[in-house]
Amino acid sequence: MAYAALQHRDIKALSPQQIEDLRAGRGMSQALAAELNGYPGPMHAMELGEQLKLTAEQQTRVQALFGAMQKEAKALGEDLIAAERELDALFKSRRITPSTLDSQTQKIAQVQGRLRAVHLHKHLEMTQILTADQVDSYNRMRGY
């Protein structure tokens, strides 16, 4: 019964919210390993910019980093949606085979890995923009 309403989804494995998040380049908790271990995210740093006392140069760099992340994440999000759509179509059309299943799930995993890496890389790059004191302040403000 838990899946009863899901058969009407356009892509069975992705909710409409997940599709929207992927298209918008949202993090979707992809970078929690970084965020919760003291590597700030560009979006939240921009939101906290005034409290962090970001310099004009830091603001510019954080915005550029966020823009680059969004561009890459949106493109990979579209790739992931397409790959999931392909997998769904293979099942729906009954053309799925062990070989196409392995191939398509590997393709999906590669895109998911690249998408996650985009978000994690940007958190890592943030430590080159913020001072150690700003990172500490960020973590406190975020409740970590």
| pLDDT tens digit sequence for 27-81 | 999 999 999 999 999 999 999 999 999 999 999 999 999 999 999 999 999 999 9
Nearest to 14 by CA among 62, 116, 84, 78: 84
Alpha helices in the chain (DSSP H): 16-24, 32-35, 42-47, 49-52, 56-92, 98-126, 132-142
Q: Band of the pLDDT at 5, cuts 50, 70, 90? A: confident
Q: Band of the pLDDT at 2, cuts 50, 70, 90? A: confident
Mean pLDDT of 87-112: 98
Question: Is 1.10.3470 the CATH number for 13-142?
Answer: no
Q: What percent of the chain has pLDDT over 70?
A: 99
The yes-or-no verdict on residue 1 having pLDDT over 80 is no
Contact indicator for 48, 141 with CB cutoff of 8 Å: yes
Domains of the chain by residue range = 13-142
Three-point CA angle 3, 8, 13, nearest 5°: 60
Q: Band of the pLDDT at 124, cuts 50, 70, 90? A: very high
